[in-house]
Structure formats: C-alpha cells, structure tokens
C-alpha cells in the first residue's frame, strides 16, 4: 500500500518566494544557465529618512562581474561567476559542487533613487549599496493672470 501524501500549495508562500527573485536566462553560453539549483542572492534592505542601504551576498564574485541598474525606484543586481577550466596534467575533477553561472535580483523601493549620488562597494563578498532618495517634487500653485 502506497502512501500518496501531497503538499497543498500555499499561494502566499509562492507569492513571497518569487517577489524578490528574478532569475534571468541569458542563454547562448556554455556556462549553466540559472536553474532551480542556482543559489539565491540574499539581500538586506534598510531605509532611513534620506536613503536606502542594500547589502547583497555575492560570495566569490569579482566586482567587474557585478552589475547594478537603477531605474527610478527599481534596483536590479546581476552577477556572474565564471567557471575556471584550468586542469593540470595528470589531474582530474572528481566532484564539482560550486555554482557557476548568473544570478539576478530586482526589487522596487518606496521612492525613486538619486542615481547621481548612489554608490556601491564590494566588501568581503557583500555588495553594499547606498541609494539616496530623490527629492520629491514639490507641488507648485500657479496664479492665474
């Protein structure tokens, strides 16, 4: 007798799982594309009165392989780890568990970002973004001549 247990999908869990994660398949590469086995980029976002701070874990990534794009309130981070194919004479690879490929994350903040004042730095595998908020346009009252 077999036990056919099934897990009922939780729509709220599925919604939040996909809310921040936006894997991108760039295709056309010998490197494995983003798949279900790809690690997720872990992100912390903090807000204060005049800026957002984002910390994204990107262990083993080189700064030249990380790209940050800002479009109004939307921030996109993508990175690629390329596989080194250096195998010495007489050596063979027995097992490879490290992930090589592309990861990407996009999320929308509550206010537009001032791209001209934004800064990024990579510190011990953590991308640190300082994203100043763009000053909100003040409403202007026109007098009628």
For 77, residues 6+ apart whose C-beta sits below 8 A from its C-beta are 41, 43, 54, 56, 66, 67, 68, 104, 105, 106, 127
User: Residue 35, SS3?
Assistant: coil
Instruction: Say what the pTM is.
Output: 0.63
* pLDDT value of position 32: 38
* pLDDT value of position 3: 53
The domains located in the chain, with CATH, are 33-84+100-135 (2.60.40.790)
* Whole-number Å distance between alpha carbons of 53 and 49: 11
User: Residue 53, SS3?
Assistant: strand
Q: What would the pLDDT profile of 16-44 be if each residue is shown by its tens digit?
A: 554 444 433 333 333 334 445 667 889 99
Quote the percentage of the chain above a pLDDT of 90. Answer: 43
Q: Quick one: average pLDDT of 87-105? A: 79
Q: What would the pLDDT profile of 32-79 be if each residue is shown by its tens digit?
A: 344 456 678 899 999 999 999 999 999 888 999 999 999 999 999 999
Q: Quick one: average pLDDT of 113-136? A: 93
Handedness of CA 33, 71, 112, 123 (dihedral sign): positive
Name the CA radius of gyration of the chain, rounded: 21
Sheet holding 66-71, edge to edge: 66-71, 74-81, 101-108
User: Residue 102, SS3?
Assistant: strand
């Amino acid at each position: 007798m077999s036990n056919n247990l099934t897990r009922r999908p939780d729509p709220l869990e599925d919604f939040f799982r996909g809310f921040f994660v936006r894997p991108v398949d760039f295709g056309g590469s010998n490197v494995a594309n983003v798949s279900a086995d790809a690690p997720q980029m872990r992100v912390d976002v903090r807000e204060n009165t005049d800026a957002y701070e984002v910390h994204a874990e990107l262990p083993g990534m080189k700064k030249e392989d990380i790209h940050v794009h800002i479009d109004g309130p939307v921030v996109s981070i993508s990175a690629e780890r390329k596989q080194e194919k250096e195998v010495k004479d007489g050596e063979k690879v027995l097992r490879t568990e490290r992930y090589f490929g592309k990861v990407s994350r996009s999320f929308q903040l509550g206010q537009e970002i001032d791209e001209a004042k934004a800064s990024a730095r990579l510190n011990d595998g953590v991308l640190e973004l300082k994203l100043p908020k763009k000053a909100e346009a003040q409403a202007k009252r026109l007098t009628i001549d």
